[in-house]
Amino acid sequence: MIIDRLFKSVEKNGHVCVGLDTDLGYLPVEFRNKFMHDEHALLRFNQMIIDATYDVSACYKVQIAYYEALGLKGLKVYKDTLNYIKNKGCLAIADIKRGDIAKTAQMYAKAHFEGDFESDFITVNPYMGMDSIEPYLPYIKNNEKGLFSLVRTSNKGAEDIEYIESKENKRVYDVVGEKLLKIGEEFIGECGYSSVGGVVGCTHIDDGIKMRKDLENMFFLIPGYGAQGGAAKDVAIYLKNGNGGVVNASRSILLAYKKVENGGAHFDQLARKETIKMRDAIRKATIE
């Protein structure tokens, strides 16, 4: 199961998932000006971040929207970034958040688990119903792929729907988590976690202990760290025995160079330094 690879990567390199949600505006001006075409600068920036962090991070999350916004040239960078991650022997999460049913979902699965945009994991949105998840499952069973499905997200608007109470006096996100846990039972790896994982934001921490207990076999993708306000002590609630989740950070790593005067010339090494700092802070929080 693909989840065993991710579990071992966390054991070896720590919990950090480097988010390559790379806006062109994130690139140091001097670096960007070295290239005739923005797409070349963008790809090279991503490659240098990967080169600097692959041995101190668990995986990478590539948010497709940043590349779609640049049209066909941007999608070429997206494809090449995924390939570069693979060639480094690392794991990639394609952050696509698809949420449709039937043949449409089958095509999304084919698009992102095969061909030009193939990734190890993808993110999906189950709020149209659990039948929106089913077309992806054959890839988990037969092709060593995995999912991270939205459960409780890190944005303030999560309270608009995800926090509504059902007739069983459970919040919507609890119901979704339970259903995903059931689906994931068929895909549990040797590590004890399922390749059907959940996206659980660390910015709503009041019931984190309960969520970790209730969703015992669910591996978490945890957004909300750093720029969104989450801290290492918040993240630690969602981990178990030093594993059980990866913690995404994008801007705090990609823009680490902005904290240092004239840091743009060393953006990759400053990204590495920030990744190590985050990794060590989370490791420390998990044992305190």
Q: Which residues have a catalytic role annotated?
A: 97
The owner of tokens 């005067």 is 261
> What are the CA-CA distances from residue 204 to residues 150, 154, 158, 246 (Å)?
14, 7, 9, 17
User: Distance between CA 172 and CA 174 in Å, rounded?
Assistant: 5
What does the chain look like in DSSP terms, one character per residue?
-HHHHHHHHHHHH-SEEEE----GGGS-HHHHTT-SSHHHHHHHHHHHHHHHHTTS-SEEEEETHHHHTTHHHHHHHHHHHHHHHHHTT--EEEEEEE---HHHHHHHHHHHHSGGG--SEEEE--TT-GGGTGGGHHHHHHS--EEEEEEE-SSTTHHHHTT-B-TTS-BHHHHHHHHHHHHHGGGB-TTS-EEEEEEE-TT--TTHHHHHHHTTTEEEEE--BGGGSB-HHHHHTT-BTTBSEEEEESHHHHTGGGGSTTGGGGHHHHHHHHHHHHHHHHHHHHH-
Q: Which residues contact 180 (CB under 8 A, 6 or more apart)?
A: 126, 130, 133, 149, 151, 196, 198, 218
